[in-house]
């Protein structure tokens, strides 16, 4: 090894101003560097290297930094022509930590695992892209999931009248498909009104897709024949932001749940409906 020195003091603890190393430099102790360290050859550190400045790796090919444990675990950092690479060149998983806690893991099988915390989509309209899978759909982006509660309310369509009930509701939205469940217990006419059909309002999302809703309904203590088959659907006009209860009569006719069917104070409705938004 040749050391070229310009200025400085030699002695038991020498100091150097500018040092050029043409060969390999090996340190068995610690290195404290408070300025830039430039090495044209190899730098092998078996102790601890503390750098107050920066370490810069310049190479005609891929600039590369390797951190290797004696057992063989190797972390590799490369600056390639079109990308930067951080990874392992051995059969070991790669982890990212914060606050000394594992947060993200890439396993040796190539799986990505969130070790703690959540995977947060930080921009609206972004999500998980499944476009690598085969299909002819218009979108393969999973960009929305939500679940929560909503408060259903019941009223007469197009006429006056006030109705109360003990109500509750839950919903789940996956992509553009919404599934809501509503419960109205002890429906009571508190202010008399017309005899048009009932509608249930308060849906968490408006049906803007224009397709028919699919669902089921259970009626408790309503003045309807046992042979009626109840169903739930959207009204076919307007903003499509409420549902109505339909009744299939045994002769094939269709009716709708209205004031004439109500047993005020004791009638119950429970329904589930799915629709696109």
pLDDT digits (tens, 9 = 90+) for 41-94: 666 767 776 766 666 766 666 677 777 777 667 777 777 777 788 888 788 888
CB 171 within 8 A of CB 178: yes
Percent of the chain with pLDDT over 90: 30
Question: Residue 131 — left, alpha, or beta (φ > 0 → left; ψ -120 to 50 → alpha)?
Answer: alpha
CA–CA gap between residue 204 and residue 275 (Å, rounded): 11
The reported pTM is 0.74
Place of tokens 């803007």: 208
Say yes or no: 94 and 174 in one domain.
no
Q: Is residue 201 part of a domain?
A: yes
* Domain final residue pick, 68, 90, 114: 114
CA distances from residue 17 to 23, 25, 30, 36, 93 in whole angstroms, order as listed:
19, 17, 19, 12, 43
Count of the separate structural domains present in the chain: 2
Task: Tell me: do 184 and 244 sit in the same domain.
Answer: yes
Is there a single domain that holds both residue 168 and residue 254? yes
Is residue 121 in a domain?
no
What are 200-213's pLDDT values in tens digits?
A: 889 898 876 677 77
pLDDT in tens, 120-157: 999 998 999 988 888 788 889 999 999 999 999 998 88
Q: Does 7 map to a domain?
A: yes
| Residue 29, token pair as written in the block | 């102790």
Compute the residue count for the chain.
277
Examine the domain organization and report whether 105 and 158 are in the same domain: no
Bridge-based pairing of strands 94-98 and 267-276 is unpaired
Residue 210 domain boundaries = 147-276
pLDDT at 230: 67
β-strand partners of 229: 248
| Spatial contact of 191 and 231, defined as CB atoms under 8 Å apart | no
pLDDT higher than threshold 90 for residue 249: no
What is the rounded average pLDDT of the residues 228-244? 71
pLDDT at 25: 67
Q: How far is CA 174 from CA 52, 179, 208, in A?
A: 51, 9, 16
């Amino acid at each position: 090894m040749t050391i070229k020195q310009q200025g400085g003091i030699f002695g038991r603890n020498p100091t150097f101003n500018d040092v050029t190393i043409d060969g390999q430099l090996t340190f068995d102790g610690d290195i404290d560097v408070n300025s830039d360290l430039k090495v044209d050859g190899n730098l092998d550190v078996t102790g601890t290297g503390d750098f107050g400045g920066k370490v810069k790796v310049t190479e005609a090919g891929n600039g590369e930094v390797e951190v290797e444990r004696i057992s063989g675990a190797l972390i590799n950092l490369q600056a390639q022509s079109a990308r930067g690479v951080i990874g392992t060149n051995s059969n070991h998983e790669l982890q990212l930590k914060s606050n000394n806690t594992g947060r993200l893991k890439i396993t040796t099988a190539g799986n990505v695992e969130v070790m703690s915390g959540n995977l947060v989509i930080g921009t609206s309209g972004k999500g998980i892209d499944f476009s690598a899978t085969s299909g002819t759909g218009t979108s393969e982006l999973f960009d929305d999931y939500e679940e929560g509660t909503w408060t259903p309310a019941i009223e007469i369509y197009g006429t006056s009248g006030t109705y109360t009930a003990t109500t509750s509701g839950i919903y789940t939205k996956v992509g553009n498909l919404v599934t809501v469940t509503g419960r109205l217990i002890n429906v009571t006419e508190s202010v008399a009104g017309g005899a048009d059909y009932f509608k249930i309002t308060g849906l968490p999302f408006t049906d803007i897709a224009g397709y028919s809703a699919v669902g089921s309904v259970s009626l408790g203590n309503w003045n309807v024949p046992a042979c009626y088959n109840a169903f739930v659907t959207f009204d076919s006009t307007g903003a499509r932001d409420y549902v109505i209860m339909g009744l299939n009569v045994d002769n094939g006719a269709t009716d709708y749940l209205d004031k004439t069917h109500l047993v005020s104070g004791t009638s119950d409705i429970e329904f589930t409906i799915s629709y696109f938004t």
